Amino acid sequence: MTETVLTGLNDLLPIITANGAAQRSVTAIVGPPASGKSTTAETLAERLNASEPGSAAVFPMDGYHYDDAVLHARGQRPRKGAPFTFDVAGFSHMLKRLRDNQEREIAVPVFDRALEISRNAARIIPKTVRHLIVEGNYLLLEQPGWADLRELFDTSVFLRVPEDVLRARLLERWSQLEGDELRIKMEENDLPNALLVVRESSGWNYVFDNV
């Protein structure tokens, strides 16, 4: 795999700008939980929009979480966030629709962390957007369904973060938990998901050390 290590987001901005100069381009921001994907994607969109208002938008993968009612019925609620707890087919169809860019505007779902649910049609992406920033854990995962997404990205960036840093960030994220609840959340879900992303993702163009 050929990759280029970025020293900062400023290295990426001219690449994205050039790719979307004439038509919509799709940039994937990929990494394990707590690697900073959402912040990176939003920062990129903000900088692109500062140069050209309305030219960039973010499409998060997390909007395709299965609802808790579905996960409870399947006995999968404790593993929420694992690859099989996402509607990857629905996400793929929406990504293709966004890439084709044939409609005046498209409404996409957004995951509400405070409520732990996906809110349908919570973000509008108009046809005028040329730089679509997609962010998610499993965008380059070598698993059925997920592996098919790679061909939809013009550019892909993997956020590389040391395991001890990921662990510290996840502990901070779940600081309201304690005891067995924290141990189960960390050791039986979030850390296994993070290590899966690191070990079974491939095909990115650029690496960014986001520490």
pLDDT at residue 1 is higher than 70: no
Q: Which residues contact 80 (CB under 8 A, 6 or more apart)?
A: 65, 68, 71, 189
pLDDT higher at 163 or 138? 138
Q: What is the pLDDT of residues 89-128, one digit of tens each?
A: 999 999 999 999 999 999 999 999 888 899 999 999 999 9
**Contacts made by residues 81-87, CB under 8 angstroms, sequence distance 24+:** 81/33, 81/137, 81/189, 81/190, 81/193, 82/189, 82/192, 82/193, 82/196, 83/137, 83/138, 83/141, 83/143, 83/146, 83/193, 83/196, 86/61, 86/138
pLDDT higher at 67 or 169? 67
Compute the distance between CA of residue 45 and CA of residue 135 in angstroms, rounded to an integer: 12
Q: What is the pLDDT of residues 141-161, one digit of tens each?
A: 999 999 999 999 999 999 999
Q: Which amino acid is at 87?
A: D
Q: What is the pLDDT of residues 10-48, one digit of tens each?
A: 999 999 999 999 999 999 999 999 999 999 999 999 999
pLDDT band with cut points at 50, 70 and 90 for residue 169: confident
